[in-house]
Amino acid sequence: MEDILDLYAKPYQPAFPVICFDEVPYQMVSETRLPLPMQSGTPQRYDFEYKREGTCNLFMFLQPLRGWRHIKVTNRRTKQDFAFCMHDLVEIHFPEAEKIRVVLDNLNTHTPAAFYETFPPEQARRLTKKLEFHYTPEHSSWLNMAEVKISVLTEQCLKRRLGNQEIVAREVAAWETERNNIKATIDWRFTIPNARDKLKRLYPIKDEQ
């Protein structure tokens, strides 16, 4: 835990960006009947019935200190999908970085081994050398700021009926652009002293002599 909190406390360093990474499934649904149009004094009304259209996956990239985020919509969340996300991070989003420090959870797909299962060895090694993984402790995914942003995305964009992956990708991209334009950040106040004070039960107890 302190490893991640220490990382959050560091000042902004363009050559060593801190990126929080997380993922979430999304259930797509469509309407079974056309909504009733809005009228004077009456909002648009939707029927309670809907049709399930399967699921897609959303990968969230977040650079807290810069107020930048990117969401990648995919069919699944396999090791290969993770590897391609890390490839995008290195080759597209931060090609000039010396080292990218990634905060992520301990999901079994989140390992450098995924690179070697997806890319040629030389490319996999190049990605491994550019990335530095910082894993959240078990049952402590709340330490990942990307999880906070997924909650905001859900509340502001996804809490409605979106019927297919193309629509999801389009709506998410619009939300991403708006939030990036205003450089929306997180006022993170949980520090190492806070952790030592409020989570004493998690620290080893030194026997008194």
The confidence score (pLDDT) of residue 182 equals 95
Over residues 73-99, mean pLDDT: 97
Residue 139: the pLDDT is 80
pLDDT at 35: 61
Q: How far apart are CA 19 and CA 4, in angstroms?
A: 11
DSSP state at residue 137: P
Asked whether the beta carbons of 16 and 94 are under 8 A apart, the reply is no
Residue with token string 């297919």: 164
**Mean pLDDT across the chain:** 89
Asked if residue 122 has pLDDT above 90, the reply is yes
**pLDDT > 90? residue 77:** yes
Q: In the prediction, which pLDDT does 98 show?
A: 97
Q: How far apart are CA 91 and CA 135, in angstroms?
A: 22
User: Helix, strand or coil for residue 199?
Assistant: coil
Residue 96, CA atoms < 13 Å, CB-side half-sphere = 3
User: What percent of the chain clears pLDDT 90, i.e. is strictly above it?
Assistant: 70
Q: Which of 22-31, 109-118, 125-134 has the lowest mean pLDDT?
A: 22-31
Distance, CA of 76 to CA of 58 (rounded, Å): 9
- Residue-level pLDDT at 141: 86
Tokens (6 digits) for 173: 């991209």
As its CATH architecture, domain 13-32+48-185 has 2-Layer Sandwich (3.30)
Query: What DSSP designation does 92 have?
Result: I
